[in-house]
Structure 1
Amino acid sequence: MRYDKGRKDASRSRIMEVASHRFRGDGIAASGLASIMSDAGMTNGAFYPHFQSKADLVRESVASALEAQSQQLQDVLASGGLELALAMYLSPEHRDHPQTGCASAALLPEIARQPPETRAFYTERLLTLVRQLAKDLPPGIRDPEGAALGVFAALIGALQLSRAVEGTELSDRILAAGADAARTLAQPRQKVEAS
């Protein structure tokens, strides 16, 4: 039985959506194809007309999640600037729902173990996010891209730590400290006067 292209595209999108949630929520290694396909409402055999391997699904799912994050970042920066972006990224809601959140914070150790093609896709998408943020940093920063890299590192690290610790009070303190660190990194440096 043949299906039209629209149905095949919809099936592919559904597989990627489920996989993206599973990968970010449970991890790549812990997310088997059988459970992904079951959650998508399809049989295991329906996977292979869409993807050659799990590695292909990982690459495309992570790329799609990062593209969506890029669009969201663009919208947030346009509507509320860096402060709103920090508040949304380092929020208890984001911390408590990794399956719908930042792919980097959820998956970095596993992405580092993926094939070179996946890491290349990831690098390309990360640099897009960094350059987006760099354009929205205050004027006077000597190396806006370097500052944006530092901000992302602070945000991702703070979110990962906040998810790892036991207890909401410490977790909330980590989120606040991460936001403070990101603000500091996003400010122009004062020149030190020679005495």
Structure 2
Amino acid sequence: MRHRIHYPDGTVVELEEPQGHTIEPVGDVGVPSPVICRHLGDDGEPLVELVFEVWKGVPVCAEVKISAKRDSGTHVRAKDLKATAARLEDDIEEWISYLAHEPQPAPPGRRRWVRRSPAESASQRKAMRAVRTARKEVRRRMTDDHHQRVADTYRAATTARTEAVARAFAVSYRTAQRYIEKARQEGFINE
């Protein structure tokens, strides 16, 4: 099933629920998995295709594909990659919640889902909250290997150790502080 959404600014987004998709619970709503989201863009933007799936009750982006539009001479630029990354979290929330289903009474041991109308903003807000809550609960797993790499990076830096960890792991300064503290608690950094 395909859905095409047209925005007043000319933006067009196409959502596809491929053959064989399933409805997976996310909080108290059900969402299709996988979902293919295509930002068709205008002539100045490349085609962006995102594949969303539900893993253990959490909607995630499983694939990103950015393609040039040869006919219009639109190639992929660094700013297109940055723009796609910048709107990824919003896309997951918006498009997964757009396709959300609500639970309906069913025989014991079974679950029945019914698609609600996307125009029902209260239902979409409820689905967005469920998606946002599920995504907030997902964090990087801090394994012993992760702690060891943090400790090695921390020790290798002669100055600005926290900044070195932040750069090495592509995280914020605050997250790097958390990584260092956790590695210290686990005994990988002794000072």
TM range (shorter): under 0.3
The structure with higher relative contact order (CA 8 Å, sep 6+) is: 1
Looking at secondary structure, tell me which structure has more helix per residue.
1
TM-score after normalising by structure 1:
0.27
Looking at secondary structure, tell me which structure has more strand per residue.
2
